């Protein structure tokens, strides 16, 4: 059996085993070398149909019929998925550009499977175009087919060595895979070809920042701003790095560019009422503060409500409902509105993360004193749930949201995080959502107690934290909640942390009760976890647990 036949048999086997994504990936590994291979096109199309990507499957089946007119199996599969959507058209033979354009349209609408099918068809018609391989590689990368993506990028560069976009895109792929040094080199090559390439500058700057080279990173962000004064991503990158370096004066100002950034998920709110940035008298005025980002951000910056109230303002705070038990009684908040609720009349508005700019907050002015408290009735409930403590009690949170842009750097698999576990301590799980691999680990380690079923909102999490002696967490909302409550919290941070944790310090000006444990090098969680374990031993006089000795 030749190599193609082996790959095809493997694709069929994966399809029959109920693994359509793997079947599709294997089919495309054949199609990269033989773009019109009918059986490989059919298995990839069948895999996409099984996943509900009928439009993408049609593109592949169209290609089968163009290569083998009257192909009976392709005809049957097309009949099975029914009529094509309105506006769907098969490009004429020889028109790679038409397929390129169709792929671009699908890409802009985030229909990545359909984009991949279109660009694959374009390559079959014109395999000498580097831009087509670059496009298909991007689609492969978006769908998680990293090996296929890298092969296509390399082929694009073989066809066109001075292809700056392809060099940048290879860098982005390597960056995604955690290969920062290699990514930085790819970005450098792109910039050698096109010195004013804004995206390559910001990408290289971010890679250098993750490698612990912030000064070099800033030169790239500055280069973008110099070349393109209105470039939002360049300003925002410079702003967040300024905040990380403690330059709050520039940082808060540049951070306002987030509303125009290409990666911004939340649009600005165009209320008829004016935006307040500290430039108007708010005495006896009603001001709406609205949460724009994650739970941790809402917890961290809601502290400014009391400052506004001290100016004589009537503060209305809008935030996720799950935060209501904590924030509706926050000092300075006159009214709390959950997302989606009807807003009362107001005179001004301000997003929470613009408040430091409005108050011209400097690093030396920050107060780390606690400002939140759990509802008293919840504390009584949780005393009953957790029972009396016969030993030290420590809460754990080892991962954040999977949708967070920096999740791969800030979260730690529980099997690795477990290095901190020591005997003589009772451990409590503080995160609500647990990933599949971590659930499997927890099933083997019942010494970590879970009350996830009883936690309804952040009021419950706060009451649970109140019963603990210490919280150990990665950079997620639990860190901010514990700090805002004044509970001792040890926070594990990647070598290039989020801007709010600054650099080269073990304390946080935002939270007096926080101690920061940082990676000494990119990806080196083990050193940070060992430091936490040693600190635990010093605090509680403990020894490494059996679980951590045999990981």
Each residue's pLDDT tens digit, 352-386:
999 999 999 999 999 999 999 999 999 988 988 88
What tokens were used for 441?
Answer: 């680990």
Place of tokens 């996830």: 452
Residue 545 has pLDDT above 60, yes or no: no
User: 22-26, 80-84, 127-131: which has the minimum mean pLDDT?
Assistant: 80-84
pLDDT given for residue 405 in this prediction? 64
In this prediction the pTM is 0.85
Alpha-carbon distance of 235 to 238, in angstroms, equals: 5
pLDDT given for residue 548 in this prediction? 43
Alpha-carbon distance of 83 to 138, in angstroms, equals: 29
Instruction: Name the more confident of 406 and 316.
Output: 316
Alpha-carbon distance of 360 to 297, in angstroms, equals: 18
pLDDT given for residue 262 in this prediction? 77
Handedness of CA 334, 338, 339, 340 (dihedral sign): negative
Residue 551 has pLDDT above 80, yes or no: no
Residue 83 has pLDDT above 70, yes or no: no
Instruction: Name the more confident of 144 and 290.
Output: 290
- The 10s digit of each residue's pLDDT in 122-135 is 998 899 999 999 99
Residue 550 has pLDDT above 90, yes or no: no
- Please state the rounded mean pLDDT for residues 220-225: 96
So what CATH class is 3-161? mainly alpha
Domain 286-361: which CATH number of 2.60.40, 3.40.50, 3.30.70, 3.90.350: 3.40.50
pLDDT given for residue 505 in this prediction? 95
Residue 485 has pLDDT above 70, yes or no: yes
Q: For residue 6, name the pLDDT band (cuts at 50, 70, 90).
A: confident
pLDDT given for residue 543 in this prediction? 54
pLDDT given for residue 19 in this prediction? 84
Instruction: Name the more confident of 2 and 340.
Output: 340
| Total Cβ atoms within 10 A of residue 321 | 14
Residue 455 has pLDDT above 60, yes or no: yes
The rounded mean pLDDT for the chain is 90
Residue 406 has pLDDT above 80, yes or no: no
| Total Cβ atoms within 10 A of residue 360 | 13
Alpha-carbon distance of 538 to 6, in angstroms, equals: 58
Tell me what percent of the residues of the chain surpass a pLDDT of 90. Answer: 60
What 3-state class would DSSP assign to 547?
helix
pLDDT given for residue 84 in this prediction? 65
What tokens were used for 515?
Answer: 């101690």
Q: For residue 86, name the pLDDT band (cuts at 50, 70, 90).
A: low
Q: Which helix (H) or strand (E) is 398 found in, with range? A: none
- The 10s digit of each residue's pLDDT in 411-436 is 999 989 998 888 889 999 998 888 88
Q: For residue 76, name the pLDDT band (cuts at 50, 70, 90).
A: confident
What 3-state class would DSSP assign to 265?
coil
Alpha-carbon distance of 237 to 158, in angstroms, equals: 32
| Total Cβ atoms within 10 A of residue 348 | 19
Residue 265 has pLDDT above 70, yes or no: no
pLDDT given for residue 387 in this prediction? 84
Helix and strand tally (H, E) in the chain?
27, 11
Instruction: Name the more confident of 516 and 4.
Output: 516
- Please state the rounded mean pLDDT for residues 521-534: 93
Do residues 206 and 496 touch, judged by C-beta distance below 8 A? no
Residue 85 has pLDDT above 80, yes or no: no
What tokens were used for 460?
Answer: 């419950």
- Residue 323: DSSP 8-state: G
Instruction: Name the more confident of 409 and 216.
Output: 216
| Total Cβ atoms within 10 A of residue 80 | 11
Q: Which CATH architecture has domain 198-260?
A: Alpha Horseshoe (1.25)
In terms of average pLDDT, the best of 10-19, 324-333, 534-543 is 324-333
Domain with CATH 1.25.40.10 in the chain: 3-161, 198-260
pLDDT given for residue 435 in this prediction? 86
Q: Domain 376-549 adopts which CATH fold? A: Rossmann fold (3.40.50)
Domain with CATH 3.40.50.2000 in the chain: 376-549
Torsion of CA 234, 239, 241, 244, to 10 degrees: -170
pLDDT given for residue 7 in this prediction? 83
Residue 264 has pLDDT above 70, yes or no: no
Residue 221 has pLDDT above 90, yes or no: yes
Tell me what percent of the residues of the chain surpass a pLDDT of 70. Answer: 95
Alpha-carbon distance of 205 to 215, in angstroms, equals: 9
Q: Terminus-to-terminus CA distance in the chain, angstroms?
A: 42
Sheet holding 511-518, edge to edge: 448-450, 425-429, 392-397, 470-474, 489-493, 511-518, 507-508
């Amino acid at each position: 059996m030749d190599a193609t036949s082996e790959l095809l048999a493997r694709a069929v086997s994966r399809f029959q085993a109920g693994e359509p994504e793997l079947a599709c990936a294997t089919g495309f590994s054949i199609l990269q070398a033989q773009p019109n291979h009918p059986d490989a096109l059919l298995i990839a199309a069948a895999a996409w149909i099984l996943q509900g990507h009928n439009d993408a499957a049609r593109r592949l089946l169209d290609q089968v019929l163009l290569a083998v007119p009257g192909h009976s199996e392709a005809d049957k599969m097309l009949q099975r998925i029914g009529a094509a959507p309105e506006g769907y058209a098969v490009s004429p033979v020889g028109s790679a550009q038409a397929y390129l354009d169709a792929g671009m349209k699908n890409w802009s609408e985030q229909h990545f499977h359909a984009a991949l099918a279109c660009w694959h068809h374009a390559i079959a018609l014109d395999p000498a175009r580097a831009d087509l391989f670059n496009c298909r590689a991007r689609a492969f990368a978006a769908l998680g087919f990293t090996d296929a993506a890298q092969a296509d990028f390399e082929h694009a560069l073989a066809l066109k060595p001075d292809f700056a976009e392809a060099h940048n895109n290879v860098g982005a792929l390597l960056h995604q895979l955690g290969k920062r040094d290699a990514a930085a080199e790819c970005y450098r090559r792109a910039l050698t070809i096109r010195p004013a390439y804004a995206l390559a500058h910001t990408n290289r700057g971010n890679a250098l920042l993750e490698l612990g080279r912030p000064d070099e990173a800033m030169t790239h962000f500055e280069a973008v701003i110099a070349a393109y004064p209105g470039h939002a991503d360049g300003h925002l990158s410079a702003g967040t790095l300024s905040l990380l370096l403690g330059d709050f004066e520039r940082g808060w100002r540049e951070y306002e560019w987030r509303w125009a950034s290409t990666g911004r998920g939340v649009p600005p709110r165009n209320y008829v009422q004016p935006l307040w940035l500290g430039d108007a008298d708010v005495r006896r005025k009603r001001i709406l503060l609205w949460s724009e980002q994650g739970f941790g951000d809402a917890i961290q910056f809601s502290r400014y409500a009391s400052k506004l109230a001290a100016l004589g303002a009537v503060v209305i705070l809008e935030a996720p409902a799950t935060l209501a038990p904590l924030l509706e009684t926050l000092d300075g908040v006159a009214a709390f509105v959950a997302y989606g609720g009807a807003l009362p009349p107001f005179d001004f508005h301000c997003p929470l993360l613009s408040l430091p700019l409005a108050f011209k907050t400097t690093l030396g002015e920050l107060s780390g004193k606690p400002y939140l408290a759990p509802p008293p009735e919840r504390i009584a409930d949780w005393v009953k749930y957790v029972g009396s403590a016969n030993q030290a009690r420590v809460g754990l949170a080892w991962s954040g949201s999977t949708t967070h842009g920096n999740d791969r750097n800030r979260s730690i698999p529980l099997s690795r995080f477990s290095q901190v576990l020591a005997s003589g301590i009772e451990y409590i799980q503080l995160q609500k959502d647990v990933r599949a691999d971590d659930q499997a680990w927890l099933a083997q380690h019942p010494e970590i107690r879970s009350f996830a079923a009883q936690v309804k909102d952040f009021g419950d999490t706060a009451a649970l934290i109140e019963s603990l002696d210490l919280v150990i967490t990665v950079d997620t909302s639990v860190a901010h909640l514990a700090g805002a409550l004044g509970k001792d919290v040890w926070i594990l941070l990647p070598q290039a942390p989020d801007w709010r944790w600054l650099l080269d310090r073990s304390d946080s000006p935002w939270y007096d009760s926080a101690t920061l444990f940082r990676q000494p090098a990119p990806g080196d969680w083990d050193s940070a976890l060992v430091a936490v374990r040693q600190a635990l031993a010093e605090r509680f006089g403990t020894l490494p647990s059996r679980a951590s000795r045999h990981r």
